[in-house]
Structure 1
Amino acid sequence: MKVAATGLLLLMAAVFLVSRQFEAAYSWVGYVKAFAEAAMVGGLADWFAVTALFRHPLGLPIPHTAIIPRNKDRIGEALANFLKENFLIAPVVARRMRNIDLAGAAGRFLQAPQGEENRIRQGASRLIADLFESLDQERLGGLVKAAISARVRKMEMSPLLGHALASAINEDRHVPMLEAAIRWTARALDANEGLIRDMVHKRANWVLKLAGLDAKLADAIVDGLRKLSADMHTDPAHPVRIKIEEALAQLANDLQTKPETRARVEAIKLELLDNRSVSLWLDTLWERGREAMIRAARNPDAAMAGKLGEVLQSMGHSLEQDARLKSAINMFARRAVSGMAASYGGSIVKLVSETVRRWDAQTITNRLETTVGRDLQYIRINGTLVGGLVGLALHAVDAI
């Protein structure tokens, strides 16, 4: 565009010079000369104006030229203030956020299995995986473990355990665990039959040993224990089972109401948290969870296809269809973004102004000229043509 604008100016100069040679011979050439002369004036004037914005014309230090390089700091301040007053104040942000349905967009995003949302999800998943892999594993694990430990220390576990046990008993969810314990007892009895017989033999006196009654006593004990475990397994109304269930119900009540039991549970909890083995178990738990999150993030399609995907899609459906939930989330987002604008808008404005201030004059001149320079060259072309038309009009009036 610079070449076009400058070429048009040079063309007008050539037309002017040629028309001077033939003006005396042909009267109509005067109109051509007037057009070319005025076009040169208009083109030169607009060339000077456009050039003066970015640099000194012909390198001459003419006053009020090179306007942008001399005023770049003021331009940065003006741009920053424009952003602050029109975009980064809480009322403006809240007004613009009022028309944005973030909850609905999030719901559609979670429900969409394919398309652009899927590509965004894959990019976000890779970012999350890279982030988890780049963080210090031991330090991050220590933070997570400390957070879990602090939370558990503040939480009173006894009422929760008591309530959970009472609910399990009321809904008969304790029965499978009780039957499993009975089966385990039977297997333990079979596995340790020799130990029981050896204990009976060692504790029997010499009279029983001499009469061979220690072996019969051991047989009776083993058989009795086997019969007890079998009867407990087959008879839900067995007295021992009833006693165990009563003891469990009493334990559930004591965990919720009895101060001594609650204090004992809290002491056990603190001992477990301070135990080295529990600390190692938490480390292992965190590492497995971290590896699972990385695997899921590396393969978001597989994660979205399983139970996690069903949960997320259900959440997306609720976000999109539940008007009350959508309104609450949008209101929270609007308040959060408005609060961020109020708290950090000044910092963003300061960042803009300081960035522009750090640019050297040549950098900001080149960037602005690259952005708007094409339109400015059109101004030069238009000035040349408009100047020529004005000159032609004046010459016609003078000729009359």
Structure 2
Amino acid sequence: GWALQALDLLDEAAVRRAIQGFVAEQLRQWNAAATAGDLLGLLTADDRHQRVLDEGLTRIAGWLDTEAVRQRASVLIVRYIRKEWPKLASTVDWVKPIDEIGDSLADRLARAGLDELQAILSQPGHPLRQDYAHWLGDYMQRLRGDPALAARVDALKQQAIDHPAVQDYVQGLWRRIHAQLRADLAREDSALAAHLERNLGKLGAAIGRDPALRDALNQHMLAGAEKLTTRLRSGVTAHIAQTVKGWDERKLVEQLELSVGRDLQYIRFNGTLVGGLIGLLLHALTGWLRF
């Protein structure tokens, strides 16, 4: 159906390159630092950042309270002691196994960490919370107004856009999405096609009722078409010129016949008819003058 044709059009190489170029250009112009600052502003509104901190600390506390983590910490402690103080470790082993000491130290460290986390979670005015809020607010202001930081963020953004791995990932992602969409749209009972038809019908009804919405959509579509046309103009012109230039005389005649064949036949017929009439007229005129 029409949805499948539209999807295939988007997957045409020239169209895909144009869309990718347009998206890349918009991303390059995007002020990532300012956007990050605005997002942090939303995060800090109504102390949302403190709730995020609480969630993170709660997860860390749960992680520290697991036996597997304590066992891992004990192994690391024992390994470090044996590496840094091998003689001391051998001596201590005579009194008490070093592994038991590692278990004890790991357990005490875990309990100390849990106690500190519980203190932070239970005290709204805890120094760590204050430091966290101060750092976050300062960083948010720097994102909005520090040219040096904005330049570093923009450089990271540009590197991400231009990185081959990112481009390969995006292209691979598009291929997978395209394949799944095409498989769904090719089915007679396509859920996506039904959803599109239903919602496009609602959109059409809304546009028909709302003149302001129609005007806004027209303006956005014209602006987008103008930008896309500007990008495509040079490429399409060069492609057409190169294609026609590569045709030989026979190929050119074939293409003209396919495009305007009926008109050419009409022109030929009219030319023959008009030429014959003119010839007869000249013959009659010549005979009359002789007479």
1:145/1:282 contact within 8 Å kept: no
Match of 1:268 among 126, 137, 156: 156
Q: How many residues align?
A: 223
Q: Root-mean-square deviation (CA), in Å?
A: 4.5
Mark the CA change 1:356 to 1:318 in structure 2 (over 3 Å): closer, same or farther. Answer: same
Match of 2:2 among 115, 118, 124: 124
Match of 1:225 among 113, 119, 136: 113
Residue type of the alignment partner of 1:125: A
2:71/2:106 contact within 8 Å kept: no
Superposed displacement of residue 161, structure 1: 0.9
* Aligned match of 2:214: 326
Residue type of the alignment partner of 2:2: A
Residue type of the alignment partner of 2:191: A
Q: Does 1:196 align with 2:73?
A: yes
List per-residue Cα deviations over 1:251-309 (Å, max 9, x = no partner). 22221112232122122223323434323321233224423543564468623655x66
* Aligned match of 2:165: 277
* Aligned match of 1:67: none
* Aligned match of 1:79: none
The residue correspondences of 1:14-29 to structure 2 (distance < 5 A) are none
* Aligned match of 1:250: 138
Superposed displacement of residue 145, structure 1: 4.2
* Greater share of helix: 2
* Aligned match of 1:163: 38
- Report the identity percentage: 20
2:70/2:107 contact within 8 Å kept: no
Mark the CA change 1:187 to 1:265 in structure 2 (over 3 Å): closer, same or farther. Answer: farther
The farther-off stretch of 225-234 and 257-266 is 225-234
Mark the CA change 1:140 to 1:317 in structure 2 (over 3 Å): closer, same or farther. Answer: closer
- Pick the structure with greater CA Rg: 1
List per-residue Cα deviations over 1:199-252 (Å, max 9, x = no partner). 444157576984879634433322222333445456655543443233222222
Mark the CA change 1:323 to 1:141 in structure 2 (over 3 Å): closer, same or farther. Answer: closer
Match of 1:359 among 265, 270, 283: 265
1:132/1:294 contact within 8 Å kept: no
Q: Distance in 1 between matches of 2:74 and 2:113?
A: 13
- Give the unaligned 5+ runs of structure 2: 226-256, 271-291
Mark the CA change 1:294 to 1:245 in structure 2 (over 3 Å): closer, same or farther. Answer: farther
Q: Does 1:302 align with 2:180?
A: no
Q: Distance in 1 between matches of 2:161 and 2:218?
A: 40
List per-residue Cα deviations over 1:116-168 (Å, max 9, x = no partner). xxxxxxx32242245456x35xx765554444333322322111111112112
| TM-score of the aligned structures, taking structure 1 as reference length | 0.43
Superposed displacement of residue 313, structure 1: 5.0
List per-residue Cα deviations over 1:286-338 (Å, max 9, x = no partner). 224423543564468623655x667645533431221333356679999x9xx
List per-residue Cα deviations over 1:42-61 (Å, max 9, x = no partner). xxxxxxxxxxxxxxxxxxxx
Residue type of the alignment partner of 1:124: W
Residue type of the alignment partner of 1:164: L
* Aligned match of 1:259: 147
2:9/2:15 contact within 8 Å kept: no
The residue correspondences of 1:198-213 to structure 2 (distance < 5 A) are 198-201=75-78, 202=80, 210=92
* Aligned match of 1:69: none
Mark the CA change 1:233 to 1:271 in structure 2 (over 3 Å): closer, same or farther. Answer: farther
List per-residue Cα deviations over 1:42-86 (Å, max 9, x = no partner). xxxxxxxxxxxxxxxxxxxxxxxxxxxxxxxxxxxxxxxxxxxxx
Residue type of the alignment partner of 2:73: I
Mark the CA change 1:239 to 1:330 in structure 2 (over 3 Å): closer, same or farther. Answer: closer
Tell me, what secondary structure is at the counterpart of 2:36?
A: helix
* Aligned match of 2:250: none
Mark the CA change 1:257 to 1:193 in structure 2 (over 3 Å): closer, same or farther. Answer: farther
Q: Distance in 2 between matches of 1:257 and 1:331?
A: 33
Residue type of the alignment partner of 1:196: A
The residue correspondences of 1:47-196 to structure 2 (distance < 5 A) are 123-132=1-10, 135-136=12-13, 144-174=19-49, 177-186=52-61, 188-189=63-64, 190=66, 191-196=68-73
Residue type of the alignment partner of 2:206: S
